[in-house]
Amino acid sequence: MTAISSPGDFSEGMFVGLTDFRRFHMTTIQWHEPRVRHHGARHALSGAGNRLLATFSEWRRRVRDRSRLGELDERMLKDIGLTRSDAEFLMNKPFWRE
């Protein structure tokens, strides 16, 4: 590049060269506002709530299914491969145990 001797020596070509030089040799610093992740905590609570709801639903299903075993007669129990003592054992099992 040549030295600029007077203000009239500026040309479009010189500025294009400077722009290319800056793009190639310099990096820009971009400032961003920090992101606040409120949805992360809400998502975690939502996931915990969903697991809790699923657990309660499973426990309710176990109570319902085990109580229905008491309503079955010997023939129906035999059809599903259980004896009366098996059914009584399952009916007396706490709902939180599989």
Tens digits of residue pLDDT in 47-84: 888 899 999 999 999 999 999 999 999 999 999 999 99
Q: Where are the alpha helices (DSSP H) in 1-98?
A: 12-25, 38-69, 74-79, 84-91
Q: Using CA of residue 66, residue 71, residue 74, residue 78, what is the dihedral sign?
A: negative
Give the C-alpha distances (Å, rounded to integers) separating 53 from 35, 37, 43, 64: 31, 25, 15, 17
Q: Which pLDDT value is given to residue 32? A: 66
Please state, in angstroms and rounded to a whole number, the distance separating the CA atoms of residues 9 and 7. 5
**Whole-model pTM?**
0.52
